[in-house]
């Protein structure tokens, strides 16, 4: 399935029905009073989050949504029927913004949560409401109010406990395939992963947490370089960041410099990201060579106060300790909320 996480759509709530101008017509009642009914309310446009979706793909191909208009009022004080609401289903984690003002309208972060994005118009009053002792036969009624109409931007930000970040080929996809049932594409060239992947990591008897593999970031990502901020938004909702750094003898660049590059991109994209708890994992321990790169990164993390782990997703070395640490750290963070 194609992963789509940003979509612009146009929505129009239903117009209210107009009130009715009508007078009683009964046998032996030559001058019946006004009996025009009210118009019905227009339908609302409602967005509802569901855990059954994980992409905005459907909305990419249908970008116009309208709710039903309210029916007009009728004689004999009969009210028009209210218009049906239009419910648009979106993935959990969808942020709704106004295109015109960039204002956040709703943030749907729970399964089943819903929000009225555009309200239907109120139905007009019939002429029976306007009769007075001095105006006994009003020949007018109110028109229905128009429903709200607007363009909105939908941004999907994945909900995950742990975000895996790092340069391309740092080992994120391999790690998530080892610790969860996720099966991302794995290859020995940059930008193998083109979309975020989610994996559920189980620990203990019935406990679990969600890990997101964020596609490879590079220097200049906050400006859109490489995959850029196309996927940086998915890091924002995570509770904990795990930075993966390649310490193998075949990796390019100094591991400390590689770590600093990505950390700098996070700060430039959003200062709030720099305040998230960050841990570091040196990957590909099975081909570490003389170990100088491992020692250099380990010392740097110790000086900076980062929790550091050396792991190999191929041999499994250090994996169980890392999973236990992540689970414990998340439990600690939840208690602080």
Final residue in a domain of this structure, among 125, 156, 187: 156
Of 97, 124, 156, the residue at which a domain comes to its end is 156
Any idea which residue has 């979106």 for tokens?
A: 90
Q: What is the CATH number of the domain that holds 297?
A: 3.40.50.300
Per-residue pLDDT of the chain in tens (337 residues, 90 and over written 9)? 456 788 999 999 999 999 999 998 888 777 788 999 999 999 999 999 998 887 888 898 899 999 999 999 999 999 999 999 999 999 998 999 999 999 999 999 999 999 999 999 999 999 999 999 889 899 999 999 999 999 999 998 877 899 898 888 888 888 998 998 766 544 444 444 456 777 889 887 778 898 888 775 645 444 444 444 456 677 788 899 999 999 998 887 899 999 998 888 888 877 777 788 999 999 999 999 899 999 999 999 999 999 999 999 999 999 999 999 999 999 998 888 6
Same-domain check for residues 15 and 63: yes
Are residues 167 and 64 part of one domain? Answer: no
Q: Based on the domain organization, do 303 and 269 belong to the same domain?
A: yes
Domain shared by 323 and 204, yes or no: yes
Question: Residue 69: which CATH number?
Answer: 2.70.210.12
Specify whether 114 is located in the same domain as 259.
no
Do residues 26 and 107 both lie within one domain? yes
Domain extent for 88 = 6-156
Q: What is the 3-class SS of 189-226, one letter each residue?
A: CCCCCCCCEEEEEEECCCEEEEEEECCCCCCCHHHCCC
Q: Which of 118, 137, 156 is the last residue of a domain?
A: 156
The pair of three-digit structure tokens given for residue 108, joined into one six-digit string: 């749907």
Q: Is residue 188 part of a domain?
A: yes
Q: What is the pTM of this model?
A: 0.71
Residue 1 lies in a domain: no
Shared domain check, 196 and 85: no
> Into how many domains does the chain fold?
2
177 with 65, same domain: the answer is: no
């Amino acid at each position: 399935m194609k992963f789509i996480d940003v979509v612009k759509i146009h929505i129009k709530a239903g117009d209210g029905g107009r009130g009715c101008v009508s007078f009683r017509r009964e046998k032996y009642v030559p001058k019946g009073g006004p009996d025009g009914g009210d118009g019905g309310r227009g339908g609302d446009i409602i967005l509802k989050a569901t855990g059954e979706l994980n992409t905005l793909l459907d909305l990419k191909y249908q970008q116009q949504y309208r709710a039903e208009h309210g029916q007009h009022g009728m004689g004999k004080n009969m009210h028009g029927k209210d218009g049906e609401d239009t419910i648009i289903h979106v993935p959990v984690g969808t942020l709704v913004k106004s295109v015109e003002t960039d204002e956040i309208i709703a943030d749907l972060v729970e399964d089943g949560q819903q929000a009225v994005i555009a309200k239907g118009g109120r139905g007009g009053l019939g002429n029976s409401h306007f009769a007075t002792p001095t105006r006994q036969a009003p020949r007018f009624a109110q028109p229905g109010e128009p429903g709200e109409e607007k363009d909105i931007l939908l941004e999907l930000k994945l909900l995950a406990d742990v975000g895996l970040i790092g340069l391309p080929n740092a080992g994120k996809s391999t790690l998530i395939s080892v610790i969860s049932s996720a099966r991302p594409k794995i290859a020995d060239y940059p930008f193998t992963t083109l979309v975020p992947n989610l994996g559920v990591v189980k620990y203990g008897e019935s406990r679990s947490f969600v890990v997101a593999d964020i596609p490879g970031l590079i220097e200049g990502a906050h400006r859109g370089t490489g995959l850029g901020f196309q996927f940086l938004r998915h890091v924002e909702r995570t509770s904990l960041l795990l930075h993966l750094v390649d310490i193998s003898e075949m990796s390019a660049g100094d591991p400390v410099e590689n770590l600093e590059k990505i950390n700098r991109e996070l700060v430039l994209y959003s200062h709030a990201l720099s305040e998230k708890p960050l841990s570091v994992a040196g990957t590909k321990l099975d081909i570490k060579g003389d170990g100088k790169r491992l020692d250099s990164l380990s010392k740097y993390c110790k000086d900076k106060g980062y929790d550091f782990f050396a792991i190999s997703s191929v041999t499994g070395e250090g994996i169980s300790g890392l999973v236990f640490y992540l689970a414990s750290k998340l439990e600690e963070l939840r208690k602080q909320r």
